Copies of this chain bind each other. A is one copy, B any other.
Amino acid sequence: MAQNKIVTLAHGGGGTASAELTEKVFMPALSNPILESLSDGALFDPPKNGRLAFSTDSFVIDPIFFPGGDIGSLAVHGTVNDIAVCGGIPKYLSAGFVIEEGFLIDDLERIASSMGEAAKKCGVAVVTGDTKVVPRGKVDRLFINTSGIGFVPEGVNISPENVKEGDAVIISGSIGDHGMAVLTKRKGLEFDTEILSDSQPLNALIEKILKADPGIKMMRDPTRGGLAATLCEIAKSSGNGITINETELPINENVRSVCEILGLDPLHVANEGKLVAFVLPKNAGMVLEAMKSHPAGKDSAIIGTVGGPEAGRVEMKTSFIGNRIIEPLVGDQLPRIC
């Protein structure tokens, strides 16, 4: 679409320009037989048994290109991961674009192509979509909503209600990478080693976990609000206390340094490719081994156990002395992290 280098209001009008954007930008990047029907809705067969999982997420990240990813791949990974931590095998995604008039077609092609590659890697298909264009100044560049459908196999039952005293708490790798990658890019900070976002799909890792322990109790991906928010939420909804050990927390050296300089706590910094799992103590070793055998879980670690403080509270045994209460933030350390 070289003759038409920016997105115009006409591209969102539902007329021939809209059709052109779909045909020339989105279809080549995302193409699959269901999407090609170009009807108002995508049609496909339901699973023969088990349940359906359905999730949605809007992505408003700033900047849209960041070290380790972009808004397109992030929008795929985010919804794939939300479905996968429910025990669902992600299958179908929708994509809703809200684009600012004047957005570069080149950038849109790059983002669509990144979505397409991410979808392929995750084994999902973007089967239905929508594009709106709004006048300059009415949206900051580009927002993407993805919603997704997954098939949850019979017998899989992920729920905070399963979490009981004594369960092991496992994290799938280092914390804080995504938030610090976005923050350093946004602030123009430069360090010897660039911090990369951990934006990645977790569905293949979760398939390994479910194979090792089909009765896995609870999983969640600690995104906005970081690991602290996720642990506090699970402590509250399961009615248990949780204790974690600071010395066991995997944190990349450069993330740790930048957090120290800026006075941030990595426990509150967003992740986009990590999960925390709650496992029966007798299965913990087996699950940990399965997680470490997958690239997305190679730095997995048992970081704590259920029990300790009163119900609904999270405590951390610090590396120095005594315990620290972990609480969720009221808001977030930085807006537009995802």
Interface positions of A (Cβ within 8 A of B): 8-19, 37-47, 50-58, 60, 62, 82-83, 85-86, 88, 92, 94-98, 127-130, 132-135, 137-140, 143, 145, 147-152, 159-160, 220-221, 223-225, 229, 233, 237, 270, 328-332, 335-336
Q: A332–B10 contact, CB under 8 A?
A: yes
Q: B94–A56 contact, CB under 8 A?
A: yes
Q: A56–B143 contact, CB under 8 A?
A: no
Interface of A is mostly: mixed
Query: Which 9 A-B pairs have CB atoms at the shortest separation, nearest pair first?
Result: A10-B331, A13-B332, A14-B224, A14-B225, A56-B94, A147-B147, A13-B331, A46-B46, A41-B55
B residues in contact with A220, CB < 8 Å:
40
B residues in contact with A336, CB < 8 Å:
132, 134-135, 138
- Smallest CB separation, A329 vs chain B (Å): 4
Q: A43–B132 contact, CB under 8 A?
A: no
B residues in contact with A96, CB < 8 Å:
56-58, 96, 145, 147
Copies held by the complex = 2
The docked-state distance in angstroms from the alpha carbon of A42 to that of B56 is 10
Q: Which of B19, B149, B237 contacts A38 (CB 8 A)?
A: B237
Q: A40–B143 contact, CB under 8 A?
A: no
Q: Which of B11, B147, B330, B335 contacts A16 (CB 8 A)?
A: B330
Q: Which of B46, B60, B328 contacts A15 (CB 8 A)?
A: B328
The docked-state distance in angstroms from the alpha carbon of A331 to that of B4 is 14
B residues in contact with A130, CB < 8 Å:
56-58
The docked-state distance in angstroms from the alpha carbon of A8 to that of B331 is 9
